[in-house]
Amino acid sequence: MSRRVSRRELDDLILHLKGLVHVRALLEDGGASTAVLDAHAAEIDRLRDRLAALAREAGDQVGVAA
C-alpha cells in the first residue's frame, strides 16, 4: 500500500528544485568549476525524478479515489 502524497511535500520539493536551478545558473554565470556545476545538475536530476515519482503516486491516488 502506498502512502498518501501531501500537497505540502510536492510544494516543498518544487521550491527546492527551483532554488537549485536558480543557484546553478548563478554559479554558471560566476564561473564555477565543472565539478560544482555537475554536482548541482545531479541533485536537480535527483529531485526531478523524485517529483515525477510523487506526481505518479498522487495521480494513482486520484485514480483510486475516482
Instruction: List pLDDT tens digits, range 54-66.
Output: 888 877 665 555 5
The pLDDT of residue 1 is 39
The pLDDT of residue 2 is 52
* SS3 readout for 6-65: CHHHHHHHHHHHHHHHHHHHHHHHCCCCHHHHHHHHHHHHHHHHHHHHHHHHHHHHHHHH
Count of structural domains within the chain: 1
Judged against a pLDDT cut of 80, whether residue 3 lies above it is answered with no
The pLDDT of residue 9 is 87
The pLDDT of residue 62 is 59
Cα angle 43, 52, 11 (rounded to 5 degrees) comes to: 80
Q: What is the pLDDT of residues 5-43, one digit of tens each?
A: 788 888 999 999 999 999 999 999 999 999 999 999 999
Q: What is the DSSP letter of 66?
A: -
Domain that holds residue 45: 7-52
Q: Is residue 30 part of a domain?
A: yes
